[in-house]
Amino acid sequence: MRIAIGSDHAGFEQKQQLVEHLTASGYEVMDCGPADDYRVDYPDYGLKVALEVAKGFADRGVLICGTGIGMALCADKVAGIRAASVTSPQFASLARKHNDLNVISISGRFVDFDTNKQIVDTFLTTEFEGGRHALRVAKIMALDCDTLPYLPEE
Ligand code: RB5
């Protein structure tokens, strides 16, 4: 599995640690930067990772900023992306099983590395359950269109 990973300055240290961990775990890791911890704007790196996943060059994306929130907001703007900010392994598991998350965004400032490692490992190894969740995810993805594809029944 090929993983695109990116951060801003606030997530840089944990990105480096995760690149090492994921590579050692056998994943093919595409480091989308930054290359150092100088201050950068998280939308630039959130977009890079999201595009790698949306275009099919990477299977999943991992983002790390201060809270995980800003980068999730950016990635979700890209058509084809289902991104969320996740702070527990349980939510990582549910986000895969129910939402088929393809980009995870984590906090480099408020969540320790061991927990983030568990979150990312769970994200990468948990399958989407499909079934009743498939139509709901399809409805989310239909929102990528400019025109409203369906109207919820009253
Ligand atoms: C950078 O200071 C911080 O705003 C950023 O890392 C992130 O937390 C944004 O959501």
- Domain boundaries in the chain? 2-142
Minimal-distance CA residue to ligand 1 atom 3: 66
Which ligand 1 atom minimizes the distance to the CA of 8?
A: 6
Q: What is the pLDDT of residues 30-42, one digit of tens each?
A: 999 999 999 999 9
Q: Which residues are catalytically annotated?
A: 65, 98
Minimal-distance CA residue to ligand 1 atom 7: 66
Global pTM value? 0.95
pLDDT at 67 over 70: yes
| Homologous superfamily of the 2-142 domain (CATH) | Sugar-phosphate isomerase, RpiB/LacA/LacB (3.40.1400.10)
pLDDT for res 104: 99
Please write down the long-range contacts of 48-52, taking CB distance under 8 Å and 24 or more positions apart.
48/4, 48/6, 49/4, 49/5, 49/6, 49/75, 49/103, 50/74, 50/75, 50/77, 50/78, 50/81, 50/83, 50/103, 51/78, 52/4
Provide the token pair at 112: 């320790």
pLDDT for res 115: 98
pLDDT at 150 over 70: no
| Mean pLDDT score, 117-143 | 97
Residue 151: pLDDT band (50, 70, 90) is low
Provide the token pair at 13: 């240290």
